[in-house]
Amino acid sequence: MKRVYNFSAGPSMLPEEVLRRAADEMMDYKGCGQSVMEMSHRSKIFQSIIDSAESLLREVMNIPDNYKVLFLQGGGSTQFAMIPFNLMTGSGKADYVLTGQWATKAYKEAARYGDAKAIASSKDKTFTYIPKLDPSTFTPDADYFYICMNNTIYGTKYHTLPATGSVPLVADISSCICSEPIDISKFGLVFAGAQKNLAPAGLTIVIVREDLVGHAMEKTPTMLNYKTHVDGGSMFNTPPCYTIYICELVLEWIKNTIGGLENMKALNEKKAKLLYDFLDSSKLFHGTVVPEDRSLMNVPFVTGSDDLNAKFVAQATDAGMVNLKGHRTVGGMRASIYNAMPYEGVETLVDFMKKFEKANG
Ligand SMILES: *Cc1c(COP(=O)(O)O)cnc(C)c1O
């Protein structure tokens, strides 16, 4: 068996330990004679899986009791509509910071349902930085204030949160969930598609403060109302059972093998530092993001020549490092180094970059 280092932005690598355990339990989950893929979501045994996934997430992320945890479908993208349907129902206003494609999509969707305002943007420099925010420009009676915390495509991250006062802060944490500790009490709602850091595709996690649930617009489709899923314990309809099971195993790995989010953060910082330090010293490769806003998870870089970029991606693939091609809007390369990417994977990449620079610099 040969496994590659997969630098994909998502779906992405899963911990080998989790894949082995899932393989072991594939034919007969804990003596019940069936796979988790096959069992009824109304069975006791599946209920114990989803309960365990929720309690592990609460423990690992230190989620306060006045927050609901939902396991939904529809990807991060469905949240772009669910958020305004459910939250844009007081003044009907919301502030958005445009830090890339995902934030812009969320903003455009919200503008269909209410008074969404783009209060800042970093589009002028291809989203290579997080804009400095001036609270005097914030809408004081907004129903919420929206950010994309880690910008998967452009490789930027908020290292300090905007001071929104009593306006609930809403964050897309799809590409940074469980990469480091965050203080959930600072947010009204966070959400994440699971396919970056927690599970295969098909699961979206929403963590929402209890008082924000139950005020949806009159015409909100039943499936897009958070209250439906709070009342149904995330089982109003058939949930993505197998993906929730893998999510449970990944959370166990974070808790027991890694030792929690402080350790996860230290490991992620060590991986990112190795790559950024090399980029800062290289004469051929350059990071595209201003140093103070760099992401721990997604690292875009370029050589300055499209031909060399293409040659690098092709040779890296042959050497067992796949999906290093950058997003089409940025060009160059991007290494996504999520939780499950081992330190050795980044070491292998940096060694390869050094050799490539010697041969082509
Ligand atoms: C991947 C991603 C999304 C989109 O998720 P889907 O599950 O494909 O809808 C949204 N936001 C961010 C930050 C992402 O990285």
Give the contacts of 185 (CB within 8 A, at least 6 positions apart).
64
Same domain, 118 and 253: yes
Q: Which of 257, 289, 309 is the last residue of a domain?
A: 257
Q: Which residue has its alpha carbon closest to ligand 1 atom 8? A: 75
Q: Which of 223, 257, 291 is the last residue of a domain?
A: 257
Q: What is the pLDDT of residue 313?
A: 98
Same domain, 311 and 323: yes
> Contact 237/223 with Cβ under 8 angstroms?
yes
Q: What is the pLDDT of residue 4?
A: 98
Mutate to test the pocket of ligand 1, among 152, 177, 190 (most ligand atoms within 8 A of CB): 152
330 falls within a domain: yes
- The CATH number of whichever domain residue 320 belongs to comes to 3.90.1150.10
Q: Inform me whether the pLDDT recorded for 114 exceeds 90.
A: yes
Model pLDDT for residues 124-139, shown as the tens digit of each residue: 999 999 999 999 999 9
What is the reported pTM?
Answer: 0.98
Indicate the pLDDT class of residue 361, thresholds 50, 70 and 90: confident
192 falls within a domain: yes
Q: What is the pLDDT of residue 300?
A: 98
Same domain, 126 and 179: yes
**Using a 6 Å cutoff on CB, does residue 202 contact ligand 1?**
no
Q: Domain range holding 266?
A: 260-360
**Using a 6 Å cutoff on CB, does residue 148 contact ligand 1?**
yes
Same domain, 144 and 276: no
Tokens read off for 345: 């994977």
4 falls within a domain: no
Using CA atoms, how far apart are residues 248 and 337, in angstroms rounded to an integer? 21
Same domain, 142 and 202: yes
**Average pLDDT rounded to a whole number, residues 337-343:** 98
25 falls within a domain: yes
For the stretch 41-46, contacts whose Cβ atoms lie closer than 8 Å and that sit 24 or more positions apart, written own/partner, are: 41/235, 41/238, 41/239, 41/241, 42/235, 46/241
7 falls within a domain: no
Q: What is the pLDDT of residue 136?
A: 95
Q: Looking at the 3D structure of the chain, how many domains does it have?
A: 2
Phi, psi for residue 248 in degrees, rounded to 5:
-60, -45
Model pLDDT for residues 32-72, shown as the tens digit of each residue: 999 999 999 999 999 999 999 999 999 999 999 999 999 99
Q: Which residue has its alpha carbon closest to ligand 1 atom 14? A: 174
- The CATH number of whichever domain residue 199 belongs to comes to 3.40.640.10
Q: 214: closest CA among 68, 54, 93?
A: 68
Model pLDDT for residues 255-279, shown as the tens digit of each residue: 999 999 999 999 999 999 999 999 9
Q: Inform me whether the pLDDT recorded for 323 exceeds 90.
A: yes
